[in-house]
Amino acid sequence: MNDKRRKLSEAEIGAAVQPLKGWSVSGGKLRREYKFRDFAEAWGFMTHAALEIHAMDHHPEWSNVYNKVTVELVTHSAGGITPMDVELAGKLEEIAGRLGS
Amino acid sequence: MNDKRRKLSEAEIGAAVQPLKGWSVSGGKLRREYKFRDFAEAWGFMTHAALEIHAMDHHPEWSNVYNKVTVELVTHSAGGITPMDVELAGKLEEIAGRLGS
């Protein structure tokens, strides 16, 4: 099995989430809500994120209402949170950070 | 009050939804799930839709997981479904139709 797609233990998840500000574990998924200035800024975030998502071939469960974007990350094939989810969370943080929000 | 943002009656909603294939009323919102070939096609749909959403200044509650896009439309300021929601549903149909799905 690809090491990046192996299910992390609870301790590993705890350690991985710790530096990811705003992220928590909810219902067995990594979860964060982002709030932007308006729809255009939220869409800018999602559009940049979509490029990374496509490149990684690892897809979030995400929703948008106006300036809010809620992201949930889990690897269904592994039955839990994997290094891929942690990596994508880190990329989303980097993208959101560039927007200065 | 702007006529486009007035709450429609149940009979009006029924008549409005009837020609909108795949749409239904669920929890007081217009709702449809779209299924595309893959993430890229789903994202193409969302990107085109985002332009219309921004132009209308009327925002859906929508979510995406890989090739699926779920859309819910309601006008919170009116406390229900309005002509704006019906109009946006029609535009989404047109956009999805162009993708041949």
* In chain B, alpha helices (H): 10-17, 39-56, 83-98
- pLDDT above 80 (res B22): yes
Question: What is the pLDDT, as a whole number, of residue A1?
Answer: 52
Residue A50 and residue B43: Cβ atoms within 8 Å?
yes
d(CA B89, CA B86): 5
Please write the tens of the pLDDT for every residue from B28-64.
999 999 999 999 999 999 999 999 999 999 999 999 9
d(CA B26, CA A90): 35
Query: From A70, which residue of chain B is nearest by alpha-carbon distance?
Result: B63
Question: What is the pLDDT, as a whole number, of residue A99?
Answer: 87
Helices (H) and strands (E) in chain B, counts: 3, 4
d(CA A44, CA B78): 28
Residue A39 and residue B59: Cβ atoms within 8 Å?
yes
Q: Which two tokens stand for residue A53?
A: 């998502």
Nearest Cβ partner of A63 from B43, B53, B63? B63
| Confidence at B100, pLDDT banded by 50, 70, 90 | low
For residue A43, the SS3 value is: helix
Please give, rounded to a whole number of angstroms, the shortest distance from the CA of A19 to a CA of chain B.
Answer: 26
Please give, rounded to a whole number of angstroms, the shortest distance from the CA of B7 to a CA of chain A.
Answer: 20
Q: Is the pTM of this model over 0.80?
A: yes
Mean model confidence pLDDT for chain B? 95
Q: Element (H or E) spanning A89, and its range?
A: helix A83-98
Please write the tens of the pLDDT for every residue from A16-37.
999 999 999 999 999 999 999 9
Q: Minimum mean pLDDT among A90-99, B1-10, B63-72: which range?
A: B1-10
DSSP A5: G
Question: What is the pLDDT, as a whole number, of residue B93?
Answer: 97
- pLDDT above 60 (res A101): no
Query: From A65, which residue of chain B is nearest by alpha-carbon distance?
Result: B61
| Confidence at B89, pLDDT banded by 50, 70, 90 | very high
d(CA B64, CA A61): 6
ipTM tops 0.85: yes
Within 10 A of A13 (CB to CB), how many other CB atoms are there? 19
Residue A39 and residue B61: Cβ atoms within 8 Å?
no
Nearest Cβ partner of A53 from B39, B53, B54? B39
| Confidence at A90, pLDDT banded by 50, 70, 90 | very high
d(CA A63, CA A69): 6
Please give, rounded to a whole number of angstroms, the shortest distance from the CA of A12 to a CA of chain B.
Answer: 25
CB A3 within 8 A of CB A83: yes
Q: What are phi and psi of A35, to 5 degrees?
A: -125, 125
